[in-house]
C-alpha cells in the first residue's frame, strides 16, 4: 500500500495511510447522492455507512436503536424483583464498583428510586486497597443481615463465594464483565456478556444494562396501570459511563451518548454541574469531556481517596453537597496525577528495559498505588501499541490492571489464567482487566499471559500506521463543516473520529503550553490560518521539530474540533503527527 503523501516515516515514526479504493468510491457516490460535504462522506464511508442510511445515521434515536430489554436473560425477573421491593418498601442495598461505570450505575438506581418515591438505598462501594474489585463475602454477609434486596452493579458475575454469603437476601446482578462457565447464586444475573448470551449487546457498559432494566421496569409498571419516571432525564449518567468505560460507540451506545450530552447541557444534575464548574468547562460538553475531563475526576475517589465519593456526587440532588464533593474530587485528582507521574516514569523505564517488542508489555513495582496502575497501563499500551499490564506489589501479592488493543481480548486471557490457577484472581472485558497474582508466580504469569495474547496476534506489527480520512485546507475547516462532521459522532472507542492532513503548511508560531503541550498556528501561505494544539508533545520528536522549524513547511495531521473559549467558538486542530513537506 502506497504511503499517503509519500510519508513512509512521520515525525512519530508512523507510515501514513490515506483513503482509497472502495471506501473512496463510496464517499464520492454518497456526496453526489446526498449533497453532504465530501469530508463528512469520507468519514461515513469509513464507518461503513451506506449512502441510503447516511441521513438516519447522522440522527441516531433511541426509538430506532433501542434493543428489547427482554432480549437479555433474567431481565424480566430482575425488574420485577426491584419493583416488588419498592411495593413492599423493602430495604435495598446497592453494591457498586468504584469506577465511573459503577458510580454512574449506582447513581442511576438511586435517582430512579428517588423519583419513584422510595427511601434512599444503602450504597456500598468497596475500598480498592482493602477489599479489591467486586463483592466480597464479609461485605455481602453484612449487607444481607440488614437488607432484603442487594443489587450488584458493574460487578458480581464471577463472585460465586461472595454472593453465596448473602444469605437471607435476594441478589440481582446488573453487569457487563465477561461471565464464566457457571453463574453465581443470584436471583437474576443480567449481563450481555454471559456465556449463554448472543453477544449482540456485548458493547453495553454496566450503566447501559441498568438503563435497560429501568426500561423493562417501566414496561411492567405500565402493564400494571402505573407510570414511571422520565428515563430520558437519566441518560446523562449513561453517556458519562459509556464514554468513560471506553465502551464502543456503536449501535444504541451512539444514541445513549448523543441524547445524554443533550441532557447534560441542560445543567439539571447537581453533581455534574458542580464537577463541570470545578473543572472549568467552558461551553456544552462533548464526548471528549466525558472521557478526559469529568471521568477522571469521578474516578479519583475510587483511585486514591474515599471510594464512594464519585457515586455520591453523581447521585446528589443538593447543589451545596455536590459542590463540596466536586471540590474534594478535584483535590484528589490533582493528588492522583502526582502519584501517577511517579509510577508512570518507573513503569516506562522498566518496560523499555524489558523491551517493547513482546506481545505483552508489563511492569511491576513495590508499593505502586493500585489506584493508578490502570492509567499507567494505558500509557504503556499507547507507547508500545500492544497490550500492557502494570502491577503494584505488596507483601506476597501483586495487584494490577491491564489494557488491550483492538482485536485482542485481554479479559478472556486473564480469566483463563485465573481458571488455570496461575493467577489468584482475574477478570474483565476485551479492552481492560484486573488481576491478582502471587509474587513468586509473577514472571510465570506474565509469560503465560504473553503467550495467550500472542495467539490472538498481539505484538505482530511495528508502529501502528496513521490512518487519514482525507485532506483539508485551513480555509476549508469552517465551524459549519466541523459541526456537520461532528454529526457523524459521537466519536471514541469503536468509532474513531476522522483524522485529516493539512498539507504543505508553514508554522506561524509555536510555543510550549503548560510545560508539556504545544500550541501552534498553521498558515497555508494563501492568507488562511488554523490554530492547533498537540497535547503532551512538547518534549518528543514532534515538538522538537515544530518548535525549531526554521521556516520549513510540514504536512500536519490530526482531528478538527470546535474549541469553546471565553464565549467564542473557533476551529482547532488537535495535532497528532507531522512530516516534512
CA 419 to CA 254: how far, in whole Å?
Answer: 35
Show the CA angle centred on residue 172, arms to residues 169 and 176, nearest 5°. Answer: 150
Buried (b) or exposed (e) across 195-214, using 16+ Cβ within 10 A? eebeeebbbbbbbbbbbbbb
Q: Cell 478526559 sits at which residue?
A: 292
Neighbours of 453 (CB within 10 A): 25
CA 337 to CA 322: how far, in whole Å?
Answer: 22
293: which DSSP letter? I
421: which DSSP letter? T
Grid cell locating 351: 518496560
**Radius of gyration of the chain measured on its C-alpha atoms:** 24
Neighbours of 521 (CB within 10 A): 17
Whether the ω angle into residue 493 lies within 30 degrees of 0, i.e. cis, is no
Is the separation of the CB atoms in 416 and 448 below 8 Å? no
CA 75 to CA 220: how far, in whole Å?
Answer: 11
DSSP-based three-state secondary structure for 401? strand
Is the separation of the CB atoms in 361 and 384 below 8 Å? yes
Is the separation of the CB atoms in 208 and 62 below 8 Å? no
- Per-residue confidence of the chain (581 residues) as pLDDT tens digits? 689 999 999 998 889 998 877 778 888 889 999 999 999 999 998 888 988 899 889 988 999 999 999 999 999 999 999 999 999 999 999 999 999 999 999 999 999 999 999 988 999 999 888 888 899 999 999 999 999 999 999 999 999 999 999 999 999 999 999 998 899 999 999 999 999 999 999 999 999 999 999 999 999 999 999 999 999 999 999 999 999 998 999 999 999 999 999 999 999 999 999 999 999 988 889 999 999 999 999 999 888 878 999 999 999 999 999 999 999 999 999 999 999 999 999 999 999 999 888 999 999 999 999 889 999 999 999 888 899 999 999 999 999 999 998 889 999 999 999 999 999 999 888 889 999 999 999 999 999 999 999 999 887 765 568 999 989 999 999 999 999 999 999 998 888 899 999 999 999 989 998 888 999 999 998 889 999 999 888 878 899 999 999 999 999 999 999 988 777 889 999 999 999 99
Neighbours of 82 (CB within 10 A): 28
Q: How far is CA 546 from CA 155, 511, 533, 537, in A?
A: 46, 9, 12, 10
Q: Which of 418, 386, 383 is nearest to 402 (CA)?
A: 386
CA 31 to CA 484: how far, in whole Å?
Answer: 13
User: pTM value?
Assistant: 0.87
Domains and CATH numbers, the chain: 65-330 (3.90.1640.30), 355-455 (3.10.310.30), 468-580 (2.40.50.460)
Burial of 352 (0-12, 13-18, 19+ CB in 10 A): middle
Amino acid at each position: 500500500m502506497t504511503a499517503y503523501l509519500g510519508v513512509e516515516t512521520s515525525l512519530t515514526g508512523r507510515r501514513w495511510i490515506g483513503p482509497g479504493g472502495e471506501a473512496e468510491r463510496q464517499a464520492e457516490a454518497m456526496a453526489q447522492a446526498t449533497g453532504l460535504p465530501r469530508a463528512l462522506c469520507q468519514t461515513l464511508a469509513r464507518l461503513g455507512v451506506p449512502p441510503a442510511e447516511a441521513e438516519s445515521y447522522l440522527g441516531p434515536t433511541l426509538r430506532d436503536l433501542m434493543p428489547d430489554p427482554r432480549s437479555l436473560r433474567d431481565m424480566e425477573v430482575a425488574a420485577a424483583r426491584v419493583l416488588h421491593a419498592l411495593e413492599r418498601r423493602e430495604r435495598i442495598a446497592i453494591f457498586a464498583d468504584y469506577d465511573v461505570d459503577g458510580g454512574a450505575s449506582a447513581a442511576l438506581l438511586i435517582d430512579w428510586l428517588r423519583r419513584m418515591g422510595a427511601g434512599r438505598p444503602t450504597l456500598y462501594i468497596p475500598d480498592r486497597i482493602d477489599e479489591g474489585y467486586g463483592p466480597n463475602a464479609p461485605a455481602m454477609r453484612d449487607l444481607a443481615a440488614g437488607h432484603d434486596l442487594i443489587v450488584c452493579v458493574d460487578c458480581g458475575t464471577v463472585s460465586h463465594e461472595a454472593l453465596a454469603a448473602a444469605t437471607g437476601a435476594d441478589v440481582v446482578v446488573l453487569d457487563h464483565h465477561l461471565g464464566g462457565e457457571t453463574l453465581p447464586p443470584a436471583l437474576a444475573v443480567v449481563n450481555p456478556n454471559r456465556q449463554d448470551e448472543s453477544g449482540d449487546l456485548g458493547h453495553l457498559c454496566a450503566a447501559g444494562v441498568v438503563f435497560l432494566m429501568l426500561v423493562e421496569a417501566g414496561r411492567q409498571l405500565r402493564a400494571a396501570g402505573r407510570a414511571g419516571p422520565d428515563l430520558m432525564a437519566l441518560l446523562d449518567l449513561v453517556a458519562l459511563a459509556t464514554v468513560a468505560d471506553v465502551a464502543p460507540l456503536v449501535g444504541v451506545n451512539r444514541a445513549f451518548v448523543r441524547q445524554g450530552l443533550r441532557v447534560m447541557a441542560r445543567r439539571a444534575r447537581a453533581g455534574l454541574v458542580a464537577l463541570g464548574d470545578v473543572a472549568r468547562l467552558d461551553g456544552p460538553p462533548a464526548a471528549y469531556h466525558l472521557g478526559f475531563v469529568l471521568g477522571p475526576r469521578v474516578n479519583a475517589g475510587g483511585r486514591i481517596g474515599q471510594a464512594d465519593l464519585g457515586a455520591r456526587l453523581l447521585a446528589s440532588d443538593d447543589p451545596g453537597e455536590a459542590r463540596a464533593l466536586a471540590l474534594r474530587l478535584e483535590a484528589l485528582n490533582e493528588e492522583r496525577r502526582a502519584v501517577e507521574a511517579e509510577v508512570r516514569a518507573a513503569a516506562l523505564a522498566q518496560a523499555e528495559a524489558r523491551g517493547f517488542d513482546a506481545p505483552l508489555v508489563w511492569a511491576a513495582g513495590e508499593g505502586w498505588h493500585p489506584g493508578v496502575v490502570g492509567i499507567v497501563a494505558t500509557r504503556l499500551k499507547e507507547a508500545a501499541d500492544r497490550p500492557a499490564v502494570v502491577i503494584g506489589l505488596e507483601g506476597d501479592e501483586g495487584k494490577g490492571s491491564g489494557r488491550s488493543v483492538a482485536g485482542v481480548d485481554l479479559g478472556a486471557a486473564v480469566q483463563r489464567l485465573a481458571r488455570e490457577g496461575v493467577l489468584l484472581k482475574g477478570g474483565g472485558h476485551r479492552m481492560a482487566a484486573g488481576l491478582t497474582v502471587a509474587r513468586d508466580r509473577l514472571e510465570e504469569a506474565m509469560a503465560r499471559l504473553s503467550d495467550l495474547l500472542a495467539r490472538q496476534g498481539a505484538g505482530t506489527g511495528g508502529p501502528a500506521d496513521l490512518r487519514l480520512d482525507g485532506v483539508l485546507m485551513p480555509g476549508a475547516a469552517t465551524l459549519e463543516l466541523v459541526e456537520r462532521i461532528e454529526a457523524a459522532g459521537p466519536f471514541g472507542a469503536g468509532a474513531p473520529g476522522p483524522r485529516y492532513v493539512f498539507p504543505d503548511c508553514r508554522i506561524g508560531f509555536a510555543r510550549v503550553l503548560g510545560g508539556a503541550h504545544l500550541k501552534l498556528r498553521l498558515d497555508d501561505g494563501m492568507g488562511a490560518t488554523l490554530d492547533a494544539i498537540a497535547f503532551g508533545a512538547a518534549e518528543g520528536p514532534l515538538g522538537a521539530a515544530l518548535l525549531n522549524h526554521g521556516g520549513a513547511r510540514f504536512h500536519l495531521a490530526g482531528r478538527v474540533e470546535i474549541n469553546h473559549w471565553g464565549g467564542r467558538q473557533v476551529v482547532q486542530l488537535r495535532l497528532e503527527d507531522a512530516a516534512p513537506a
